[in-house]
């Protein structure tokens, strides 16, 4: 079995999205591009996250052809492969059905940049891609088009997709998007939602790029 380290990482993030209730049941999916290769690892379709093993993770090429694994890959394989083909900067994808983000997707409302961490981690309002049936090439095309060069996109009447250079960042994008959606709905119930301006977002992103400890 190839790519044991990467399989372990995909499995770990898949369990996090389940444990943090970002997905119900077996919904959602996680993938990671194999560095410097036209391959990816993706979670299997319809399997319990708590019993899923590294052997269940499926190895594919960017044309969605199976290379290694006996399981059927996620039904959203088209979505993942299309993002990787169009976005060489993306190293990992996390797709969730979290409650508050899904509410925005159902209402066809963008999630605005209202929190400092939204500006720092995502850096843009999260757009809603036009509706297309789940698992289709059309859904993949609409998602890629609506996300552009961004880090997240809402799928109408469906859920949220977060991307990053690695799995931890893709997960963090989904976590911050969900928190932002929740706070926005609560703030709206109080009567007003104050969005951050473009200059504030740029400044916050720049400062965050130097946040934390310097690498030795």
pLDDT single digits (tens) 117-175: 999 999 999 999 999 999 999 999 999 999 999 999 999 999 999 999 999 999 999 99
HSE (side-chain half, CA atoms, 13 Å) at 203: 6
State phi, psi for 200 to the nearest 5 degrees.
Answer: -65, -40
Residues 80-116 have pLDDT tens digits of 999 999 999 999 999 999 999 999 999 999 999 999 9
Average pLDDT score, the chain: 95
Domain ranges of the chain: 4-208
Average pLDDT over every residue of 55-76: 95
| Active-site choice (76, 82, 117, 199) | 76
Collapse the DSSP code of 162 into the 3-class scheme (helix H, G, I; strand E, B; otherwise coil) and give the result.
Answer: strand
Beta bridge partners of 58: 42
Residue 81 CA to residue 39 CA, distance in Å, equals 9
Active site residue 6: no
The C-alpha angle 92, 6, 126, rounded to 5 degrees, equals 15
Confidence tier at 214 by pLDDT (50, 70, 90) = low
Match domain 4-208 to its CATH number in 3.30.910.20, 1.10.10.10, 3.40.225.10, 3.20.20.70.
Answer: 3.40.225.10
| Per-residue pLDDT tens over the stretch 169-188 | 999 999 999 999 999 999 99
Beta partners for residue 31, in sequence order: 42, 93
At residue 71, does pLDDT exceed 80? yes
The answer to whether the beta carbons of residues 105 and 154 sit under 8 Å apart is yes
Binned at pLDDT 50, 70 and 90, residue 210 comes out as low
Confidence of residue 1 (pLDDT cuts 50, 70, 90): confident
Q: Could you give the CA distance from residue 192 to residue 13 in angstroms, rounded to a whole number?
A: 35
Q: What is the pTM of this model?
A: 0.94
CA atoms within 13 A on the CB side of 181: 30
Kindly tell me if the per-residue pLDDT of 212 is higher than 60.
no
């Amino acid at each position: 079995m190839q790519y044991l380290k990467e399989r372990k990482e995909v499995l770990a993030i898949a369990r996090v999205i389940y444990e943090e209730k970002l997905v119900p049941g077996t919904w959602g999916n996680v993938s990671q591009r194999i560095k410097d290769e036209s391959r990816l690892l993706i979670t299997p379709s319809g399997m319990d996250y708590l019993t899923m093993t590294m052997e269940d993770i499926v190895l594919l090429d960017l044309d969605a052809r199976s290379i290694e694994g006996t399981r059927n890959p996620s039904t959203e394989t088209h979505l993942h492969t299309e993002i990787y083909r169009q976005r060489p900067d993306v190293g990992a994808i996390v797709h969730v059905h979290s409650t508050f983000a899904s509410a925005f997707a159902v209402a066809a409302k963008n999630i605005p940049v209202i929190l400092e961490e939204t500006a720092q981690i995502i850096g843009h309002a999260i757009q809603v891609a036009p509706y297309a049936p789940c698992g289709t090439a059309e859904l993949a095309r609409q998602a890629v088009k609506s996300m552009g060069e961004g880090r997240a996109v809402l799928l109408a009447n469906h859920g949220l997709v977060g991307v990053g250079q690695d799995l931890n960042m893709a997960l963090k994008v989904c976590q911050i998007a969900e928190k932002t959606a929740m706070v926005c709905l609560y703030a709206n119930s109080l009567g007003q939602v104050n969005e951050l301006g473009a200059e504030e977002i740029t400044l916050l992103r720049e400062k965050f790029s130097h946040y934390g400890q310097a690498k030795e």
